[in-house]
Amino acid sequence: MQHRRGALLVALALALSGVFATVVPQPAQALTTEKATARPNEDGGDGVIGGMDTRLTWEGTVEPGEEVTSVTLTLPEGSTFEGSTTRITALEGLKRMDVTGEAVPSGSSITVSFDQAIPEGSLLRLEITNMQFPSAGGECTVTGTYEAAGATHELAPSDPISTIANTPLQSMVNWLDEQPWVEAWNSNQFLGMFLKPQLLLTSFASLAPGWLLCLGIVVAAYPFAIAIGLVFAMLKISRWRVVRAVAVTYINVLRGTPLFLQIYIMFFGLPMLNINIDNNLLGIIVVAINSSAYLAEIFRAGIQSIPQGQYEAASSLGMNYVQTMLTVILPQTVRRVIPTVTSDFITAFKDTSLLSSVGVMELMMFSKNLTTVTGNITPYVAAGIFYLIVTLPLIKVVSVIEENIARSERGAGPRPKRRAQIADNADELVGQAAKKDGVAAEVSAVAAPTASLAPASAKEVATDVC
C-alpha cells in the first residue's frame, strides 16, 4: 500500500512540473535564428565537404522591442573562420539598411560587431565566405551568442548542416585545383568539357558501383547464354524439320531485332502481364537471351567446321551420336570458337549500357546523372575508360588464343613434355645410337672368322695362332 502511495505521489509531482513548465513563460529571445545554410563545394556534386572553403549563410530576426549590437557564431571543433570575409545585410521591412561592422575570427568562432544597432523587426543576414567546416564531416549546428541591451544572450541553435568528410580523393582534387597547368588545360573549351582532370578523378570513384554492376550482369548472364546457345545450335542442325524451324525462328528474331527493343518488351511488357521481376535480374535475363542467339550461330558454325571424317572415325569405334558429340566433336568445337565467344562477350558487356534507358543503375546511368549535375561530358569519358579496362585485356587474350590455334593447325603448336625432352636431347641420342652401331659392327667382324674356324680342329686353330 505504501509503495502505491509513493508511486502516486511521484506521478502527481511529475504532472505538476509539466503543468508549471507550460504555464510559466519562457524567456523570449531578442534574436531568433531563422536558418543556416552552406554553399555546396563538391566538384561534380551538391554536397558540402569539410576542410574546404565554402560560404556559410546565417539569418536571424530581431524581435520587437529589441536591438542587437553584435553576434558571435560558433561551429563544432575543427571548423575555422581564419582568412574568411563577412558580408552584413540588414533589412528593415523592404528597406535595406546601410550597416557595416567588424568581423573577428577566433578558431571555430567569429564575432561580428555592428557600427549601429540592428533595430527591432529587422532581418539580419551574415554571409561568411572562405570558411571551412570540420574535415571529419558530420552534422554541424551553428550556435553562439549575441548582445542586446548591454547583455549577452545565448543564440538558438540552427538546424544541422550535413557535411561530407574530406577524403584522400577530395584532397587530390583540391591539389589539382591549385595547379596552374590544370587551369590552363581547363581553359581549352574542348579539354575542359571532355577531359576535366578534377571531374575525371571524382567520376572514377562515383562510377565504380555502376561499373561493377555491368560486370556482374554480363558475368551472371553469360553462362546461361552459353547453355541456351548450345541447345539451340544442336536444334538447328537437327534432322527434324520442326525442331530446326523452332531454332531458326528463335535465332533470327533475336539477331534481327535491336537489343533496345527487346529490353523495352521485357521491362514494360512483363509488368502488363503481372510478371514483376527485379530490374537487375531482368537485365541478366535480357542479356542472356540476346547473347544466346549469337552464340547459337557461333556454336553451329564451329560444329559444322569439324571434318566429316571425325564422325566416321567415331562411328567406326562403335560410338553413337551423343557419345560422338560429347567426346569428339564438342571438345574440338570449343577450342575453335573460344576467340569468337570472347568477342561476343565483349559486345555483350558494352551492350549493358542500353539498360540505362529503363532505369538500371549501371555504368552509363551513373554517367548520365553525373553529367546532368555537372553539365560536363567528362563522366561519359570516364565511363569509356572503365569499358576499356575490361575490353582491352580481353581483346589481347583473343589475339593470343587465335595465334596459338593458327600455330597448332600449322603443326607448330606446343608439344607434350616428353616429346620436347626427346627433341632437345636428339643429338645425344643419335650419338649413343652411333656408338651402339659401331660396337655391333666390331662384334660382327670378330664373330665372322670365328664362325669360319668352327669346323677346324682345336689343334689347327692353335697352329694358326702360333
- pLDDT tens sequence for the chain (466 residues): 444 555 555 455 555 554 444 444 444 567 888 889 999 987 666 888 888 889 999 999 988 888 898 999 999 998 999 989 999 999 887 788 888 899 999 989 999 999 988 888 889 999 999 999 998 889 999 999 999 877 888 988 999 999 988 888 878 888 888 899 999 999 999 999 999 999 999 899 889 999 999 999 999 999 999 999 999 999 999 889 999 999 999 999 999 999 999 999 999 999 999 999 999 999 999 999 999 999 999 999 999 988 888 888 988 989 998 899 889 999 889 888 988 999 999 999 999 999 998 988 889 999 998 898 888 999 999 999 999 999 999 989 888 888 887 787 676 555 555 555 555 555 565 556 556 555 444 545 444 444 443 444 433 433 343 3
Q: How many whole angstroms from its chain centre is CA 296?
A: 30
How many angstroms separate the CA atoms of 51 and 79, rounded? 8
How many angstroms separate the CA atoms of 198 and 172, rounded? 8
DSSP state of 321: H
How many angstroms separate the CA atoms of 114 and 83, rounded? 20
Is 198-409 the same fold as 31-163?
no
Closest CA to 262 of 227, 291, 290, 292: 290
pLDDT at 466: 33
Secondary structure of residue 59 in the 3-state scheme? strand
Are the CB atoms for 30 and 69 separated by under 8 Å? Answer: no
What class does CATH assign to 198-409?
A: mainly alpha
Are the CB atoms for 329 and 310 separated by under 8 Å? Answer: yes
How many angstroms separate the CA atoms of 152 and 24, rounded? 23
pLDDT at 436: 57
The structure's pTM equals: 0.63
pLDDT at 187: 93
How many angstroms separate the CA atoms of 394 and 339, rounded? 10
Question: Could you say which architecture CATH assigns to the domain 31-163?
Answer: Sandwich (2.60)
One-letter amino acid of 274: N
pLDDT at 15: 54
Dihedral pair phi/psi, residue 86, rounded to 5° = -120, 135
Domain ranges of the chain: 31-163, 198-409
Closest CA to 300 of 380, 238, 219: 238
